[in-house]
Amino acid sequence: MNQLSTPPRRPRWRSLALLALCLAPLLWPLHHLAERYYQDELASQNRQTLDLYVANLLGTLHRYETLPQILGDLPALRQVLADPFKLEAVTNANRLLKDIVQQTGAEVMYLMDVNGNTLAGSNWDKHDSFVGRNFAFRPYFIEAMEGRLGRFFGQGTTSAKRGYFFAAAVRDRDRVIGVLVVKVDLDHTETLWGRTPEQLLLTDQNGVVVLTSRPDWRFRATRALTAAEREAMLAIQPYPTQAPQPLNLNPDAWLTQTRDIKETGWQVSILAPHILIDRSVQTVMAIGAGALLVLMLLAGLVMQRRRHYIDRIGLEAHGRQELEKRVVERTADLEGLNTRLKSAVLERENAQQELVRAQDELVQAGKLSVLGTMSASISHELNQPLAAIRSYAENAEILLDHERTEDARGNLKLIGELTGRMASIIAHLRAFARRDRHAPESVALQPALDDALALLAKRRRAMAVELIRDLPDAPLWVQAGETRLRQVLGNLLANALDALTEKANPRKLWLSAEKRDDYVYLYIRDNGPGFTRQALERAKEPFFTTKTRTQGLGLGLAICESLMRTLGGELLLGNHPEGGALLTLQMRVAKPGATLPTSEDPSA
């Protein structure tokens, strides 16, 4: 056992380390060759990319270069120069320039007089219109007035947009009468570059970056500016800033290729990060070092293989013995755990059955508690019809003595109606009190609600509570137990009346219902004080109540919540935006069953 647990001896690596030191200098020539190769490859690719970009840029400029020279002879433009105050001529020129811009794709075209004032423009109807502006300070205007083709790149002082400007003089024979300018948008040339590691850098004659694929480099100076150049910038305002910040680039971090554009005086550069080359070189070096390492490891592995093979056989035998021992121990543990689990499951089932019985007893106790609070009201409801029956019977006897049979028959009919009313009250009480152990069935919501309202009618009338009903005429059939549904409705309505006890008139109780999707929703709203935050959080907990101990035990909402979940529904508590509590009963829709007899009018 001690021999098996002793770690295997390792081969001596001293000779392998000496071999590595001898072969390591061979990696330096490999590094030099790889760096030179990848640098040439990257330079060739960037040279082709630079040529394509310059060709695209020049093609864009050449397309608009001749436009101001050709369009200067249009009659509509000459009419404006001849009479700048003629509204019709100015309108025609504006619309003509706008149509030409839409057809050619230029940014803006505008016409200036010999003083540099803009008379008409394609953007005449825009908030940044050039009309009325003076651009005599721009170099392109000065060059055009001298008879040359004006060229200029800069940011507009009105639109704050960059662009390349072409300007040509409009002549009347040998006399210059105006200048026509075409502004070309070159922003899209930046977007054509795409998201690549290589960066575009286009600088003007001042060495200031005007186009770049890096927005943070824009309008930065690549060299120190002379005093004359700074003076010229103040005069012609080519950039959004009068003092361009220096662009400090580390020359060792970039591989730069530059090309001059003689027509514009610009320089276009592509800057490739040196890390692109470094990564490829590092990959080659890693492969070379890995190859050397593999050669050294193979030698060591061959020496070690036989010894490891023998040691592995011994370890596997020892491992099998340990595994068999652990399997036996684990099996015994699992058997004991299985026995304890069966016992725990049995105890859990017994506890669940006891809980169901206790819950049922609690529900019945809650029903009897509600009946106790309503007994005084019901006895008063029965005493009234009994007193009336006694009075009508005595009157009938007197009427018969006087042979007034028709009047006596009317008294007997009234006695019959009063006995029917007493039977209805007793039927409501019996239906509410009996124990319901049946499975959920189809129950009509409106009759059950009418029964609950009838039991509380005396109390509601005594409190002067106005009942506002908004229930559909057609019966709403829900999945519930008839008795349990009456108990829930009775509890919720009684709670609503309790909430209105401390409320001054007017006291109102709203009842509404709707059928949506697979559920029926009953809304019970009052204009009482509503729920506090603590009451909303704990209202469904048993024995939690905001009433005094003589007013209730705090079991009503807890019982209602339990009954609703048993019936597959839900009780939701909240406050109405206009004030008061809002209780929502969500019950599953059931198939129509037998039509239930309606009770007395609960609003009577």
Query: pLDDT tens for residues 249-279?
Result: 777 778 787 878 887 778 788 777 877 777 7
Domain ends where: 159, 185, 211? 185
Q: By residue range, what is the domain housing residue 566?
A: 437-588
Same domain membership, residue 499 and residue 479: yes
Among the listed residues 535, 530, 512, 510, the one whose alpha carbon sits nearest the alpha carbon of residue 575? 530
What is the domain-level CATH number for residue 532?
3.30.565.10
Say yes or no: 197 and 268 in one domain.
yes
CA distance between the termini of the chain:
97
What pLDDT, on the 0 to 100 scale, is given for residue 599? 45
Q: Give which of 270, 271, 278 is closest to 254, Cα–Cα.
A: 271
> CA-CA distances (angstroms) from residue 256 to 43, 201, 231, 417?
9, 10, 30, 109
Q: State the CB neighbour count (10 A cutoff) for residue 493.
A: 24
Torsion angle of C-alpha atoms 189, 44, 291, 278, degrees rounded to 10: -50
207 shares a domain with 176: no
- Verify that 167 and 215 share a domain, yes or no: no
Both 441 and 581 in one domain: the answer is yes
Quick check: 166 and 67 in contact, CB under 8 A?
yes
Strands 465-470 and 254-261: unpaired
The two three-digit tokens of residue 558, written as one number = 């807890």
Residue 563 and residue 443 in contact, taking contact as beta carbons nearer than 8 Å: no
194 and 71 both lie in a single domain: no
Amino acid at 189: T
Shared domain for 250 and 207, answered yes or no, is yes
Tell whether 231 and 246 lie within a shared domain.
Answer: yes
In a domain, 21, yes or no: no
Task: Give residue-wise pLDDT tens across range 356-406.
Answer: 777 667 666 666 665 565 565 466 556 656 867 887 788 888 888 888 888
Hey, how many other C-beta atoms are within 10 angstroms of the C-beta on 518? 8
Do residues 178 and 79 share a domain? yes
Q: No. of H helices and E strands in the chain?
A: 16, 16
User: In this predicted model, what pLDDT tens digit does every residue of 303-345 receive, in sequence order?
Assistant: 677 777 888 888 888 888 888 888 988 888 888 888 888 888 9
pLDDT of residue 491: 84
Give pLDDT, residue 550: 43
CA 384-388-392 angle, to 5 degrees, is 175
* Predicted pLDDT of residue 373: 52
Q: Output the pLDDT for position 604.
A: 43
Verify that 96 and 168 share a domain, yes or no.
yes
Q: Enumerate long-range contacts of 79-86, CB under 8 Å, 24 or more apart.
A: 80/111, 80/119, 80/120, 81/111, 81/113, 81/119, 81/170, 81/177, 81/178, 82/177, 84/113, 84/119
pLDDT at 224: 79
In a domain, 389, yes or no: no
Q: Which helix (H) or strand (E) holds 585?
A: strand 581-588
Q: What is the CATH number of the domain that holds 134?
A: 3.30.450.20
End of a domain among 166, 185, 204?
Answer: 185
Each as own residue / partner, the long-range contacts of residues 72-77 (CB below 8 Å, 24 or more positions apart, any chain) are 72/168, 72/169, 72/170, 72/171, 72/178, 72/180, 73/170, 77/111, 77/120, 77/170, 77/178, 77/180
Instruction: Report how far residue 509's alpha carbon sits from residue 500's, in angstroms, rounded to the nearest whole number.
Output: 9
CA 286 to chain centre: 46
Q: Given 185, 214, 246, which residue is the final one in a domain?
A: 185
Q: What is the structure's pLDDT at 182? A: 93
Q: Which of 490, 475, 484, 487 is nearest to 596 (CA)?
A: 475
Q: Is residue 544 part of a domain?
A: yes
C-alpha distances in angstroms, 454 versus 415, 492, 599? 21, 14, 8
Q: Domain count for the chain, please give it.
A: 3
The confidence score (pLDDT) of residue 521 equals: 94
Do 175 and 221 sit in the same domain of this protein?
no
Other C-beta atoms within 10 Å of 309: how many?
Answer: 9
**Residue 134 class from Cβ within 10 Å (0-12 exposed, 13-18 middle, 19+ buried)?**
middle
* Residue ranges in the chain whose pLDDT is less than 50: 1-8, 10-11, 377, 548-550, 595, 598-604
In a domain, 29, yes or no: no
- Would you give the DSSP letter of residue 439? P
Whether residue 573 sits in one domain with residue 443: yes
- Give residue 228's pLDDT: 77
Assigned domain for 540 exists: yes
- Domain annotation covers residue 31: no
Is residue 604 one of the residues assigned to a domain? no
Contact assessment for residue 106 and residue 183, using Cβ atoms and an 8 Å cutoff: yes
Quote the pLDDT of residue 209.
80
Q: Which ranges of 162-273 does DSSP label H, i.e. alpha helix?
A: 187-191, 227-236
